[in-house]
Chain A
Amino acid sequence: MRLTLNGRPVDVDPPGETTLLDFLRDHRGLTGTKRGCDRAECGTCTVLLDGAPVYSCRTLVHRCAGRAVETIEGLGTVDAPHLLQEAFVAEDATQCGFCTPGQIMAAVAVLARDADPTDEQIIAGLSGNLCRCGTHPKIVRAVRRAAAAMRTASHG
């Protein structure tokens, strides 16, 4: 089967029961996507499938045939971070950081739907992503900040 992973086509032949999360972490070494529960409860494994956030621990990789998967590794680099990543640093929206990649991927989807989301829309969009460190207020602020920065960037 073939899928697009962070913009690049890849041909793979994983066993039928392989989850997208196992595929990313254990077959491709993409460990930015975290395994917090492996039972669709925490959101640390959130990636985008054709732009929509999914729990990769509950998505079979075979369901991704012909589709586009985006992970945190495809978002930005240390030298050229994504505006969301910059905003998360600026607002200190990461404590232990274990939930952070999942929160950011869910936020990408929020901002793709609406360039100027309300707090309620941000909260709804991130509602599947737990954080035990209690970073929620700063995460929401960071998404708001990134939204503003992205609007400026696209107008400027």
Chain B
Amino acid sequence: MADPTKTPPRFVTTTVEVEGRTEERVVEVPAFPIEPWGPEAQLTHVGARASRVDGLLKTMGRAPYVTDVRRPNQAYAALVRSRIARGRVTAIDTTAARALPGVLDIITHADVPARTRLFLPEITYFGQPLAAVCATTPAIAEAAAALIRIETERLPHIMTVSEAETSETLVRPGLSHNLMGGGPKVVERGDVTAALATAEVLITREVRTPCALHSALEPHAAVAEWEGDRVTVWESTQGIFRVRDNVAKAFGLSLAQVRVICEAMGGGFGAKNNAGAHTFVAVAFAKRLGHAVACVVDRPGEQIDTGNRPSTWQRVTIAATHDGQLTAIDLEATVPLGIAGWEESPGDIYHELYACPNVRTSVRIAYVNTGAMAAFRAPGHAEGSVGLEMGLNALAQALGIDPLTLRERNIATHDQRRGRPYTGNRLAECYAEGARRIGWTSRATRTASAPHRRRGFGVASQVWSTGGGPPAYATVRLNPDGTAEVLAGSQDLGTGTRTILAQVAAEALGHRLDAVRAVIGDTATGPYNGNSWGSMTVASLTPAVRMAAEEARRALLDAAAGILTVAVDRLATHEGRITVRDDERSLAFGEVTAKLGNVMIQGHGSRGPNPDAVGIVTTGAQFAEVEVDTETGVVRVLRIVAVHDAGRIVNPTLAESQLEGGIIQGLGYACFEERPLDVRMGRPLALGLHDYKIPTHADIPLIDGHFLEGADPQANTVGARGIAEPAIIPTAPAIAGAVADALGVEVPDLPLTPWRVLAALQHAPQRHSP
């Protein structure tokens, strides 16, 4: 029995998974227990197809993006970038630029705090910022930037993993080795060598995946304005609090001196998780000039210096029994990371997705002289799943087993990496529902639209940790007129954060949805929340919102009980009214709050710890139907069926939008997207959206996206898990599988451009269309 004299600890530690990495975190235990909403919970607003609350503003062109911020006397900055990949700056001549009418200021290395790490004279990649100019208009700033002369001394650059491994030269100062960790990162479970030696069936495949660019249509942008010793930064970001940290550190400020605002942002996909050179440039100029300065990255800058999904080479070997039980998976992979970044391993998914007792991944991650990587929607998993799934397809063929059947036989029932159960994994249902929707068993009857075209089908699966976790905070307050506000220092990337926070608060309060408004995107008004990354926002923040709303509701009911002179436990709330059990009387929220006047009802919510010793994942399967033109090599994706299990879906409309978005990005990754490198000159070649092709309206297949009904009450009190990243993981391998099915030959490298398809066809067995 609990000792009543001892209060339970208020702060404990818990495990949180971010983008595949596990972190230990301190967490505040919620002040009172909340019964999770299980699958049977009768909910009004949560689960409803509520309209996106800021939708109309966006269609009006009135959503306030950072690029639309206009402050008094606002000036505009432009960056000057390196035109070589490695070397050093020997001289900078700003005379001509300064002479241009409208130019206000120019800064180089000596003019910025060292901790910004801006304009370093050692050049380590093409596109590195070396100077910046500020002018009265963006056009003048750009013209002036072109007039700044920078003389450099060129040094040999390193662009590939093999060069990085063998070269004596380090790609940048401060490294002890060009390989991250000094060698391959090997992770092994079981005994792979022994299992391979006794394999009944064995396949090996090599695949390459391209370097992909996030390409959000809104560029990276910041506006900075100082008031005394405080600075306000408007930033297009996935994490206002992280940007606040970055700015405070770089400029030696206290956190209280920095305010970061992001009301609307035009897409991030992982590339907008931190302050960037543009942020520091805006802050530095604004301080020097005494008025607001905006710095917007231009499109070539976006392409070369705001992050990317690195390319990979993967060699996968899979062993299985004759009846298709996996016995060993062995991966060797390389990743040219760029000049900086974190360990984004294509190996992780090999350990997780399919049941297999012996798995070894050996990944060499090399620093090279190209722009730094940045997390890009399902970093690591999106790349790794291509090799793993293509390996599985090859195995299915070697075994003479249907590729779907092979996957169904190898579902991972628990978290194999950590030896713990999942709170739920309904992948088997996803396979069954997806197969039904695409007509998997009757697919052979679907014929191509012309004799020179071939039809094919593919399937792939996905797993991604989506438990979210603390810290995440929210405040819910009631106004004197009975309307409610949710305050949270989070941000809406286009995912619908504002809308779902209002839905959860309305549900927990028992309020009308139109009477609840979410106020987010400002470090000065909302309590701390982490970045919107890792598919974490819903599972992290909505439980905190629920708790804040429950606390506000308790206070409201206490006040109502006094007015009605009844016991609190006889009161209930529904759609903005307080009702009394066995009594006709009822009160509108506004009647109670009006009586209180400006005495505020406020609830505070914090996200509690994650459950111990369980894995929380979203799983799913996607099926692709394609047609390949054997004369032109053009791949046409006709249909994608996607079925995922993400626990409770707070808003099916928004979830479907995000799912379709992930699928379409995955289609681009499979079919078009590739940042080529001129290895000899050390420069990336796709400097715009014409030479880096993302999907257009004409490329979009029929998409049938579906979520299994249910909830995950073990995961958190709302029962929801994330969906952003799960959406993209299986798309490319499902399409690649379908293309191989159509052609009867694999196209080993992505993207599946016409020339790759035609090259693969030359090796295809002769096949005649019926």
Point out residues on A near B: beta carbons under 8 Å.
17-18, 22, 26, 29, 31-39, 41-42, 44, 71-73, 75-78, 81, 84-85, 88-90, 92, 94-101, 104, 122-124, 126-127, 129-140
* A131 in contact with B61 (CB, 8 Å): no
* B265 in contact with A135 (CB, 8 Å): no
CB distance from A18 to the nearest CB of B (A): 8
Binary CB contact string for chain B from 278 to 300 against chain A (1 if under 8 A, 0 otherwise): 00000000000000000010110
With A37-B299, A94-B55, A95-B495: A31-B68 Cβ-Cβ less than 8 Å: yes
Complexed CA–CA distance, A95 and B498 (Å): 12
The interface residues of chain B lying within 8 Å CB-to-CB of A123 are: 697-698
The interface residues of chain A lying within 8 Å CB-to-CB of B308 are: none
Task: Indicate which residue in A38, A132, A133 contacts B298 across the interface (CB closer than 8 Å).
Answer: A38
* A127 in contact with B265 (CB, 8 Å): no
* B61 in contact with A32 (CB, 8 Å): yes
* B700 in contact with A136 (CB, 8 Å): yes
Closest 8 pairs (CB-CB, A-B):
A32-B61, A98-B266, A96-B494, A97-B58, A134-B664, A134-B661, A72-B61, A95-B494
Please tell me which stretch of B212-220, B510-518, B625-633 contacts chain A, meaning at least 4 of its Cβ atoms lie within 8 angstroms of it: B212-220
The interface residues of chain B lying within 8 Å CB-to-CB of A127 are: 696-698
Complexed CA–CA distance, A75 and B695 (Å): 28
Of all chain A residues, the one with the shortest Cβ separation from B56 is: A89
The interface residues of chain A lying within 8 Å CB-to-CB of B732 are: none
* B63 in contact with A97 (CB, 8 Å): yes
Of all chain B residues, the one with the shortest Cβ separation from A26 is: B137
The interface residues of chain B lying within 8 Å CB-to-CB of A36 are: 217-219, 266, 299
Binary CB contact string for chain B from 119 to 154 against chain A (1 if under 8 A, 0 otherwise): 000000000000000000111000000000000000
* A44 in contact with B58 (CB, 8 Å): no
* B61 in contact with A134 (CB, 8 Å): no
* B700 in contact with A44 (CB, 8 Å): no
With A41-B689, A90-B51, A137-B703: A130-B217 Cβ-Cβ less than 8 Å: yes
Of all chain A residues, the one with the shortest Cβ separation from B269 is: A132
* B57 in contact with A98 (CB, 8 Å): no
With A92-B654, A98-B218: A133-B267 Cβ-Cβ less than 8 Å: yes
The interface residues of chain A lying within 8 Å CB-to-CB of B265 are: 96
* B61 in contact with A132 (CB, 8 Å): no
Task: Indicate which residue in A22, A94, A99 contacts B217 across the interface (CB closer than 8 Å).
Answer: A99
The interface residues of chain B lying within 8 Å CB-to-CB of A81 are: 56, 59-60
With A36-B218, A132-B216, A134-B663: A95-B658 Cβ-Cβ less than 8 Å: yes
Complexed CA–CA distance, A140 and B264 (Å): 23
Binary CB contact string for chain B from 650 to 670 against chain A (1 if under 8 A, 0 otherwise): 000110111011111100000
* B495 in contact with A32 (CB, 8 Å): no
10 A-B contact pairs sorted by A residue (CB < 8 Å)? A26-B139, A32-B62, A72-B60, A75-B60, A90-B51, A92-B653, A96-B264, A97-B494, A99-B266, A138-B660
With A22-B139, A96-B494, A130-B696: A35-B51 Cβ-Cβ less than 8 Å: no
Beyond A37-B689, A78-B62, A97-B59, 20 additional contacts (C-beta under 8 Å) are A22-B137, A37-B299, A37-B688, A39-B688, A44-B217, A75-B60, A85-B56, A85-B59, A88-B59, A95-B267, A96-B264, A96-B494, A97-B264, A97-B494, A98-B216, A100-B59, A131-B217, A134-B695, A135-B660, A140-B697
Of all chain A residues, the one with the shortest Cβ separation from B264 is: A97
Task: Indicate which residue in A42, A130, A134 contacts B665 across the interface (CB closer than 8 Å).
Answer: A134
Task: Indicate which residue in A35, A44, A90, A129 contacts B697 across the interface (CB closer than 8 Å).
Answer: A129
Task: Indicate which residue in A33, A34, A78, A140 contacts B56 across the interface (CB closer than 8 Å).
Answer: A78
With A85-B56, A97-B63, A132-B215: A26-B267 Cβ-Cβ less than 8 Å: no
With A94-B58, A95-B495, A127-B698: A132-B217 Cβ-Cβ less than 8 Å: yes
B52 CB–A CB distance under 8 Å? yes
* A32 in contact with B60 (CB, 8 Å): yes
Number of chain B residues whose Cβ lies closer than 8 Å to a Cβ of chain A: 58
CB distance from B497 to the nearest CB of A (A): 12
CB distance from B618 to the nearest CB of A (A): 18
Complexed CA–CA distance, A38 and B267 (Å): 17
Among A72, A85, A129, A136, the one with the most B-chain Cβ atoms within 10 Å of its Cβ is A136
Task: Indicate which residue in B269, B296, B299, B494 contacts A39 across the interface (CB closer than 8 Å).
Answer: B299
Complexed CA–CA distance, A29 and B71 (Å): 11
The interface residues of chain B lying within 8 Å CB-to-CB of A94 are: 52, 55, 58-59, 494
**Which residues from 22 to 68 on chain B have a C-beta closer than 8 Å to any C-beta of chain A?**
51-52, 54-63, 65, 67-68
* A139 in contact with B697 (CB, 8 Å): yes
B452 CB–A CB distance under 8 Å? no
B70 CB–A CB distance under 8 Å? yes
Complexed CA–CA distance, A130 and B697 (Å): 8
* A130 in contact with B657 (CB, 8 Å): no
The interface residues of chain A lying within 8 Å CB-to-CB of B70 are: 29, 31
Complexed CA–CA distance, A34 and B221 (Å): 13
CB distance from B532 to the nearest CB of A (A): 12
Among A18, A36, A122, the one with the most B-chain Cβ atoms within 10 Å of its Cβ is A36
* B61 in contact with A136 (CB, 8 Å): no
* B657 in contact with A138 (CB, 8 Å): yes
* B61 in contact with A101 (CB, 8 Å): yes
CB distance from B695 to the nearest CB of A (A): 7
Among B60, B216, B218, the one with the most A-chain Cβ atoms within 10 Å of its Cβ is B60
The interface residues of chain B lying within 8 Å CB-to-CB of A71 are: 61
Complexed CA–CA distance, A101 and B63 (Å): 10
B196 CB–A CB distance under 8 Å? no
Among B267, B493, B688, the one with the most A-chain Cβ atoms within 10 Å of its Cβ is B267
**Which residues from 619 to 658 on chain B have a C-beta closer than 8 Å to any C-beta of chain A?**
653-654, 656-658
**Which residues from 389 to 421 on chain B have a C-beta closer than 8 Å to any C-beta of chain A?**
none
CB distance from B366 to the nearest CB of A (A): 29
* B61 in contact with A73 (CB, 8 Å): yes
Of all chain A residues, the one with the shortest Cβ separation from B703 is: A137
Of all chain B residues, the one with the shortest Cβ separation from A36 is: B217
* B661 in contact with A133 (CB, 8 Å): yes
The interface residues of chain A lying within 8 Å CB-to-CB of B585 are: none
CB distance from A2 to the nearest CB of B (A): 23
The interface residues of chain A lying within 8 Å CB-to-CB of B266 are: 34, 36, 96-99
With A72-B61, A89-B56, A94-B58: A35-B67 Cβ-Cβ less than 8 Å: yes
* A132 in contact with B267 (CB, 8 Å): yes
